[in-house]
Structure 1
Amino acid sequence: MSTSSSTQSPDMEDRGRRLVIRACDMCRKKKIRCEPTADTCEQCIKYRTLCHFTPISVKRKPRRLPEQKRVEELEKRLKSMEEQLRRANQGKEVMRIADERDALDNLWEEGLSNFESRISLEGSGIPDGRRSLMTMDPMAEQRFASNPDWRITNVSNMFSRKVFKPLPSKQEAIILVSKAFDGFNLAFPIFDQHDAMAMLDYPEGGHHEPSHWACLNVVLALAHRFRSIKKMDNQIDDREAWGYLQNALAVAPELTLLEARLSSVQALIGMAIVIQGTPNPRPFGTLISQAIRMAQNLGLHRKNRDPSLTPREIEQRKRVFWTAYFIDKENCLRTGQPPAQDDDEMDIEMPSEMLDNTMEFGATPDVNFFSFRVKLALIQGQVYRRLISVKAEKQSVTRRMVEVKRLEGMLAVWRASIPINFSENYKVPGRGRPLIPPIIHKVILRMNYFSTLNTIHRFSVPVDKWRAELEEGMDPEKAAKHAPPPPIVCVEEARNAITLMHVTPNGDYSCIWVILHMFVQATTILLENILSDPTHRCAPSDLKLIEPLLILLCSLAQDGKNEEVAAMYQSCGAMFEKTRERVRNATENDEQRRSSLKERGMGQGNESLAEFLRRIDSVSAGLDDEGMQIVEQPFVVEKVDFPVDFPHLGANNLGMSRVG
């Protein structure tokens, strides 16, 4: 067995091996063609060399057995089955992820609905026991990250919406909407009459659309606020207005999260206007900034390029933007914060000077309050840019004074273009009586003009010490010694502004909260002017003009609704008492001086140099010998032109007008 096996093993090895003899050693070495013969080759015979052939062993790949092909085929089929199983498992995973995503979307809608319904407008806003959606589901964060088409949709409806004040009947709502347009739309034409009346056709329970629901409640709140001024009974109407405002504020988070719409911008502006006339206007700046951002998303700040819009829709879009614009600029000057809309990032046209009947509900044909406030807001934007901004703080004093003169010229041209007598004392039945809407808007317009003029001169010279003293509070003694006297033009305009106190309602009214800080500015200017010259003949009359404001501040401070009002009353009251004491001492010293002159034998008909100069100052200030205002006849301004570098207010936008 062993012998046979040993003899078979070399044979098995030779099967996979073949001996190849093709060339002799010499031909293979020289790499020439070998031509073998019987015993040698032609090349070796030619070169007379020994011809020797060395066998070369070449391994061949053994032939595959039939069973090996079967194994390879089975392996290939196995891999194919594994690939099919893997694809099937992937399809099931996709379906599982889709089901989990749908469930997560339902959870998101339910969570936001609960969040919206828990908003408390009288408390801190959201209960302390709230949980975010991420903490409710540990895998939520990972699923949100892997969800490519996640989007926020309408998160509530009329059934889950928090309603603080039920809507009135449609007949009563029509009356209230008409009242809102009769007065409010004179200066704030953010709503169209046709659209407002169409909003009254709401289903049972209110509008499903959050923006329409908010607009309807805002219009009702504005109607009650303006009706309270006319009736001079603000308790019932203010309570009704507050309920409708709560309804609108309840959907404010939805308006900011959902897709931007024109009705959403209108609702946010309306809410800001209502809150501005309240004792706590802190959300005012946030709402108006959000309204402008949303208006920018809609392209309201650019020229219209949509051919599908009608002329009425284009005009309405412009009015909505410009209303938000001038409210933002007024708040900018009041707070000193940057505006939400940059003048360099807008090219929208000015609103139309002529209002059609659908937008001019209740307006007077001679005074377009909306257009005047828009043009004033353009100047206010330049005031912030040239005097208050961070870049303006780095200007030299000379450059700043040049800007002050240019801004004064713009403001003077604006005033000359308005058919309103800024020295007029409006005749009303008496303080505390109902006011007519045009008079209210005239008062607000005049106070905004005074505030702009005062801001120009207040920031005329960038002295950090004065600004720090203003932030610390008023000190009459320190102000009299270090602060410069206010300009004569500011003193005259402050006197004209403070005289409007007798036509404003005395109490917690919306118009009072809008212009209260402007009255305080006028009071401060008059008191500083008296401190600089206590012997001036206008000092006693100016003190009498200030007394109604102190009475109003006292009543508002006692209500305790606003801490800032209490601080105003304390500072103005202390400054008023010390100023009155200084005037009393100056008057006594003047009387003693006069009596001493009489004892020395000087005639009563002789006038001293100081008395002569004081009388000249009184005449130049427009006062007679009794300290009363001299009424001058109005004059006609033939032509008014704005400076060339102020493109928004040109001669085409202004016409000839009569001023006093």
Structure 2
Amino acid sequence: MQWASDMYATPTSTPRSDDGSSAKLGEPSKRKRTARACDSCYRKKIQCDAAPKQCNWCKHHDLDCTFDRVIGGSRKKKKNGPLKDQRSSTRLAERIERIEELLSKTIANQKDATSGPIDNQSSQGSLSSSLSSNNPHPSAIGPCLGRLHFAGYNLGQISSLNGLPLLSPEGQEWVWTKTGQRGAFEKLCAFGPPWQRHRQFHTSPASSEIMRSHLSVDLPDRAAVEEYVSVYRASSIRAVFPIIDLVLFNETLRMAYESPPETIHPYGVVSAKATVLAFLSFVQIFNLDTQTPLQMDGEAYAAKSQSLAPQLVPELTLDCLQTNIMLCLYHLFSGDLQSAALLMSFSSRAVFMLGGHIRPDPKGAPTQRTATMSYETRMRLHVRNLFWLCYTLDTEIALRSGQPPSISNEHCDLTLPPHYKEILYEHSFHDDPVANDDLVVPLYPSDLQLSIIKSRAQSALYSVNTLHKSDAQLLRDIRELDDELERWRMSLPPHCRPTLAFSEDMPGNSNMSMQTIILRLAYHHTVAIIHRASGRCRAWADYKSGEMEGVSSSLALSVEASRSSLFYLRSAVHALASDCFWMILFYPMSALLTIFCNLLLDPLGPRAVQDLELLTSIPDMIRAIRIRQLTLNEILHIKLVDDVVAELTRLGRCAVVKARREGEGGALAA
């Protein structure tokens, strides 16, 4: 390659003056130098030809050829001496100073080049252009924001599937400008959408037979499936759970029903069939009925879809992601939190590999799907919707299970979808919000802003690192999260804004939507979990008056929020849908535990009797929630819930009786 040969070219013979500088057109003393090699070559430990104006190395790397390095003193190294440490510190300080100077110049150049704010993607492109005037193409931003950056160039990324480099168009253009050669990148490392970057596996005869047996899975009649798709399209469930894109799902049906079973490498066929089966289990768990009855129940379809799981791992496709999310929802709404958590872990990793954690368009995605929208654009929008669905579900599962979340905020672009707030407040608080065919931004199961606050609360208050925080650090984080939550609450329109507290004498709204109920329950629960963390403060053991005042008031807010959850749920239980029983059940159980602990802490408190009555009413409140036909495991689980509630209520009553008896005994003794 020409670039490589120039980089390591043999230095030419150049006359030098007495001070070590090269002669320049008969003027050997005009350019004063303090070193025989330029600064860049000296740092690289390579031979410098010291050509006039610019040496060979600096010329081919677009660097300033400087001779600012001062040489003096002995070059002998003294081991373990103070002079060596001083020189190392000096060199480090000079290096940091040069880096800061370069960064300052780069930022200043970017600010001069544009009058508006510079996002990460645009700054990468402008930096690349400034470093190379030979590159006519702007920076190409891939779905992972270009994991490989070198000297300001977005080169691409390392494939998460096969470990091979995927060079971006900018990276390929840069290689061409430096080598004069067009690499065989189309064959070696084709750069395309992540859902197209799969590899065909060469299978043994035994594994091929297994794959053919999976392809022979019987599917229900296609017309029946398409009828369920039509019902899903017209239902409000589609707005809350955007699990499929109607156009893309047609391709899934075509692959599942029209692919010949004798195909040798049926890539995508297994995941397409698994998606169809998972979709049928999903629509049945939400009671989306049609005129055509299906052959099996939702549990059977979920089991058949899950039986194909071993074949879904190498088939990292959009259908693979959709299958796992739908199965996760099925188990979550069936009360099987453990299976839901495992499936969500896989879904979260898959949505990262497909690039859903990055915005499809840094300048904002389109707000409406159109007939002329490209397949890739539609795919990116849908993968992004699936990311937000995974994010909200992962946050909920982590809070309910106490396990770490699978999605970390630090590795995600959490910019809300364009016009999300307007669409949320316009559609989500009606009785029956119906998803529009052209609606790109769905409602999702929870307010995305609230989900982000929940995720931050879990990281700041309930991760392993928080166990080592001081009381002051913990209370500071609680206060900051509480302020953020209050700003979110006040940003909501008055008609859907949760009240700070909800008492039993407050009237309930007879015209409640599920989104309104879930939002208010989620708000009170978030307040409770934020302030419940104050129970870890060491001040409880020391009982210092100054510290205890703030700690006890924070815990009191957690208890009051738990009471509000139960009072509000009791007023809204009549409006709950039967398919959300297992999602709602968590809120009274969490509130139950907080109030029970408060009874043990202060059994003679002014509201102890009222709290006991509130706990006693929980079993009737839970039984009042409408629920679909239960399986045997669900019946046993609900019986266990009744037993737990009854036992905690009994123990709370015993704590109150014991405290009263001891108080009366102490008074008599006095």
With the length of structure 2 as denominator, give the TM-score of the two structures: 0.52
AA at the equivalent of 1:106: P
Paired positions, count: 414
Q: Go from structure 1 to structure 2 and tell me whether the alpha carbon gap of 1:486 and 1:553 turns closer, same or farther (over 3 Å shift).
A: farther
Residue 434 of structure 2 corresponds to residue 333 of structure 1: no
Of 287, 293, 296, the match for 1:227: 287
Q: CA deviation at 1:406?
A: 0.5
In the alignment, structure 1 residue 352 sits paired with structure 2 residue 418: yes
**1:182/1:363 contact within 8 Å kept:** yes
1:105 pairs with one of 204, 214, 231: 204
Q: Find out whether 1:178 has 2:231 as its counterpart.
A: yes
Structure 2 residue 649 is the aligned partner of structure 1 residue 576: yes
Letter in structure 2 aligned against 1:523:
L
- 1:387 matched to 2:461: yes
1:295-317 deviation per Cα after TM superposition (whole angstroms, max 9, x unaligned): 12222223447997654433222
SS at match of 2:398: helix
C-alpha distance in 2, partners of 1:157/1:559?
A: 29
Deviation, 1:391, is 2.0
Distance 1:513 1:104, change over 3 A: closer
Would the aligned equivalents of 2:333 and 2:580 in 1 still touch at CA under 8 Å? yes
User: Following the alignment from structure 1 to structure 2, what is the Cα–Cα distance between the partners of residues 189 and 358?
Assistant: 15
Aligned to 1:497: 565
Gaps of 5+ in 1: 1-101, 114-154, 429-435, 468-482, 592-660
CA distance in 2, matches of 1:358, 1:491: 32
Give the CA deviation at 1:399: 0.7
Q: How does 1:479-490 map to 2 (within 5 A)?
A: 487-490=555-558
Q: Is 1:189 paired with 2:242?
A: yes
State how 1:33-72 maps to structure 2 within 5 Å: none
Q: Does the CA-based 8 Å contact 1:275-1:283 persist in structure 2? A: yes
Residue 323 of structure 1: how far off its partner (Å) = 0.9
Deviates most, 522-531 or 327-336: 522-531
CA 1:218–1:450: 2 relative to 1, 3 Å? farther
Equivalent residues in 2 for 1:294-373, closer than 5 Å: 294-304=350-360, 311-347=377-413, 349-354=415-420, 362-363=434-435, 369-370=443-444, 373=447
Question: Match for residue 453 of structure 1?
Answer: 527
The CA deviation at 1:407 is 0.8
Q: Which residue of 1 aligns with 2:326?
A: 270
Alpha-carbon distance between aligned partners in 2 of 1:502 and 1:239, rounded to the nearest angstrom: 37
The answer to which of 385-394 and 484-493 deviates more is 484-493
- The letter of the residue matching 2:434 is G
Residue in 2 that maps onto 1:443: 517
Q: Which amino acid aligns with 1:491?
A: V
Deviations 1:501-553 (A, max 9, x none): 45447999542212323211112233344555666675555444434432477
Counterpart for residue 41 of structure 1: none
Task: Return the offset for 1:584.
Answer: 7.6
Matched-pair contact (CA < 8 Å) for 1:207–1:213: no
Distance change >3 Å, CA 305–CA 187, structure 1 → 2: closer
Residues 406-415 or 531-540, more deviating:
531-540
Within the candidate set 242, 246, 249, 2:306 is matched to: 249
CA distance in 2, matches of 1:183, 1:528: 39
Distance 1:525 1:197 in 2: 48
Query: Deviations 1:593-622 (Å, cap 9, x if unpaired)?
Result: xxxxxxxxxxxxxxxxxxxxxxxxxxxxxx
Cα pair 1:158 1:206 within 8 Å, conserved: no
Work out which of the residue numbers 262, 266, 271 in structure 2 matches 1:211. 271
1:226 and 1:237, CA in 2 relative to 1: closer, same or farther beyond 3 A? farther
Output the CA distance in 1 between the equivalents of 2:202 and 2:466: 55
- 1:316-353 per-residue CA deviation (whole Å, 9 max, x = no partner) reads 22111111112112222222322222222223642233
1:456-496 per-position Cα deviation (integer Å, ceiling 9, x unaligned): 222235369999xxxxxxxxxxxxxxx97973432332223
> Shift in Å at residue 243 of structure 1?
2.4
Deviations 1:7-26 (A, max 9, x none): xxxxxxxxxxxxxxxxxxxx
The letter of the residue matching 2:349 is R
Q: After TM superposition, give the deviation of residue 408 of structure 1 in Å.
A: 0.8
Mean Cα deviation higher: 287-296 or 483-492: 483-492
C-alpha displacement at 1:371, in angstroms? 8.6
In structure 2, give the amino acid aligned to 1:185: R
Tell me whether 1:415 sits opposite 2:489 in the alignment: yes
- The residue number in structure 2 matching 1:515 is 584
Structure of greater relative contact order (alpha carbons < 8 Å, 6+ residues apart):
1
Counterpart contact for 2:449–2:488, Cα < 8 Å: yes
| Residue 590 of structure 1, CA deviation | 13
Structure 1 residue 287: Cα displacement? 0.8
AA of the residue aligned to 1:353: H
Unaligned runs of 5+ in 2: 1-200, 262-268, 363-372, 542-550, 665-670
Amino acid at match of 1:410: E
Query: What's the offset of the Cα at 1:211?
Result: 2.6
CA RMSD in angstroms, aligned pairs only? 4.9
* TM-aligned CA deviation for residue 585 of structure 1: 9.0
Structure 1 residues 516 and 206: CA distance shift in structure 2, 3 A: farther
| In 2, Cα distance between equivalents of 1:575 and 1:238 | 43
In the alignment, is the contact (CA less than 8 A) between 2:528 and 2:557 conserved in 1? no
User: 2:480 is matched by which residue type in structure 1?
Assistant: R
Deviation of 1:216 after TM superposition, in Å, equals 2.5
In the alignment, what sits opposite 1:398?
A: 472
Query: Aligned partners of 2:585, 2:416: CA distance in 1, in Å?
Result: 30
Q: Partners in 2 of 1:526 and 1:180 — Cα distance? A: 42
Q: Give the Å deviation of 1:377.
A: 2.0
1:283 maps to 339
- Structure 1 residues 214 and 413 mapped into 2: Cα distance closer, same or farther (>3 Å)? farther
Instruction: Tell me which residue corresponds to 2:190.
Output: none
Contact 2:287 2:579 in 1 (8 A): no
| Cα separation, partners in 2 of 1:454 and 1:362, compared to 1, 3 Å | same
TM-score by length of 1: 0.52
1:345 partner amino acid: H
Structure 1 pair 460–487 and aligned structure 2 pair: CA distance change class (3 A): closer
Code of the aligned partner of 1:210:
V
Query: Take 1:463 and 1:454, find their aligned partners in 2: how far apart are those partners?
Result: 16
Question: How has the CA–CA distance of structure 1 residues 305 and 411 changed in structure 2, closer, same or farther, with 3 Å as cutoff?
Answer: closer
Q: Which has the larger radius of gyration?
A: 1
